[in-house]
Amino acid sequence: MSYPSPRYLADQGEVSATFRTADADPELNIGTASRVSLLSTGGTTGGLYGLYRWDMLPGTPTPPKTAASGGGHYHRTFSEAFFILNGTVALYDGQTWRESTAGDYLFVPPGGIHSFANTSGEAASMLVLFAPGAPREPYFEELAAIRGEGRELSPQEWTELYARHDQFMA
């Protein structure tokens, strides 16, 4: 493996870093259970990666589902990784649900079945990294709107929504 081709070709470095304070408000509220901070998006990283902080609020525990019961999904165009910051998050690797805590990590290559759920009912946070930086924001914005408006989608509508955003149920 070698370094990729240079993306920056100027003779000198430039001031171009982005800083975000810890107390910045999340950009998305998905229902009453999740707050999502878009730390870096595919658009802000030139398509290199996306990085979100996913905060799951205390509440009714979400039961995990197996792929056979519609709980797992996969992506064709990007990998995804999950790093637990605090609390307990159930992570699914396509075979096994694991109650994961601070410092636990799951990498999922393209095509890898995966899912996550807050099964503890307590607050939990994780980082979600996807590479390359697919435009995931519209997907999560649609989810937020659906939940915020209290809409119920048919199975066909869910399938169409997922397909538009490179998400396929296992």
What are 34-91's pLDDT values in tens digits? 999 999 999 999 999 999 999 999 886 666 665 555 579 999 999 999 999 999 999 9
SS3 129: strand
Bigger pLDDT: 134 vs 70: 134
Domains in the chain, number: 1
Instruction: State which residues form the domain around 47.
Output: 28-169
pLDDT at 32: 87
As a whole-number percent, the residues of the chain with pLDDT over 90 amount to 85
pLDDT band of 121, cuts 50, 70, 90: confident
What pLDDT score was predicted for residue 59? 80
What is the arithmetic mean of pLDDT over 124-137? 96
Q: Would residue 125 count as lying in a domain? A: yes
Across 1-5, 62-66, 109-113, 144-148, which has the greatest mean pLDDT?
A: 109-113
Q: Does 23 fall in a domain?
A: no
Q: Is residue 153 part of a domain?
A: yes
pLDDT at 38: 97
Q: Is 84 inside any structural domain?
A: yes
Q: What's the mean pLDDT in 125-154?
A: 94
The 10s digit of each residue's pLDDT in 21-31 is 999 999 999 98
Residue 85 domain-assigned?
yes
* pLDDT of 125 above 90: yes
In order, the DSSP letters of 64-120 are P--GGGT--EE-SS-EEEEEEEESEEEEE-SS-EEEEETT-EEEE-TT--BEEE--S
Cβ atoms of 27 and 37 closer than 8 Å: yes
Mean pLDDT for the stretch of residues 121-133: 96
Q: Report the pLDDT value the prediction gives residue 69, as an integer from 0 to 100.
A: 56
Residue 93 in any domain: the answer is: yes
Residue 160 within any structural domain of the chain: yes
Residue 21 falls within a domain, yes or no? no
User: What is the pLDDT of the chain when averaged over all its residues?
Assistant: 92
Indicate which CATH number applies to the domain containing 45.
2.60.120.10
85 φ/ψ angles, rounded to the nearest 5 degrees: -90, -45
Q: For the chain, count helices (H), then strands (E).
A: 2, 11
pLDDT at 65: 66
